[in-house]
Amino acid sequence: MTTTISNKQITAKIKHQGAELCSLQANDTKKEYIWEGNPEYWGKHSPVLFPIVGTLKNNSFQIDNTSYQLPRHGFARDMNFELIDKTENSVTFSIQSTSETLKVYPFEFELQIIYALEGKKLNIAYRVINKNQSQLPFSIGAHPAFALNGNFEDYELQFEKDEALVYHLLENDLISAATKTVQRQDNLVKLNYPLFENDALIFKNLQSKSLSILKNGIPLLKVDFQGFPHLGIWTKKDAPFLCIEPWYGYSDTNESTGNLFEKEGIQIIEANAIFNSKFTIEIV
């Protein structure tokens, strides 16, 4: 089941499973900006990563000396969300903790995802509500895949700032201490598949808070992620898409203790408090 929102300039479609954005089109050209989800390459469009981002060491964590198992990127992307509010150009989805989620993540929560159109911008907001009388540890992240038709090497990324692009390498899906630096010309990076031969580029401390995708020097879209401390960029070999992933958190390191409250990049919400964040996809 999907829900559609639209304004005069753009139209978005969101699946109720995972509250996953599956289409973003310009109304005048009907050009599609979101990856179609062909399973030959990757069968997703834009999953929401919660309550973890990436992979846990041994796929497990500990709370109060009890061990819990969580799969890569958590469970929200596989849950059916309830539509709790809708207007012509905005929609709000929600999931809440259940007896099943409590078996793998022992915290009471509500996660709301709000999509709202504003001109040629799609604002995507996350609201995490702590329903416990104690702290809630979590990570949350976006994973939108943007369709790149034609020659992948015709595209480039324009970073907001001209900075050294140092990223951490993955080792067995965990963050290693090893780093590499992306070659760039000023704040531009030409795309090529060898750039992703070691999987995602994971930036812990990027100064830039927006990225634009250009084709043959012409801007196509911009992702603005003010407030998000971490970023992943990913594709698969020969796949006609690129993921730009604003995150609060990332995979465990090899040195992880397993204590979720001690996890690198973890976010903490105080008792009965609310976490809010937002990023924006803009067609340019």
Query: Cα dist. 221→1, 121, 212, 273, 281 in Å?
Result: 27, 10, 6, 34, 7
pLDDT digits (tens, 9 = 90+) for 133-155: 999 999 999 999 999 999 999 99
Tell me the fold of 2-283: Beta-galactosidase; Chain A, domain 5 (2.70.98)
- What are the structure tokens assigned to 142, written together? 């976006």
**Which pLDDT score is estimated for 46?**
98
* pLDDT, average across residues 158-180: 95
**Which pLDDT score is estimated for 183?**
95
Percent of the chain with pLDDT over 90: 99
Percent of the chain with pLDDT over 70: 100
Q: Is the dihedral of CA 17, 21, 23, 25 positive or negative?
A: positive
- Nearest CA-CA partner of 124 in 269, 220, 230, 20: 20
- Nearest CA-CA partner of 16 in 74, 73, 79, 86: 79
Contact 143, 24 (CB under 8 A): no
Query: Cα dist. 187→94, 108, 111, 160, 278 in Å?
Result: 38, 43, 35, 7, 24
* pLDDT, average across residues 210-214: 98
* pLDDT, average across residues 158-168: 97
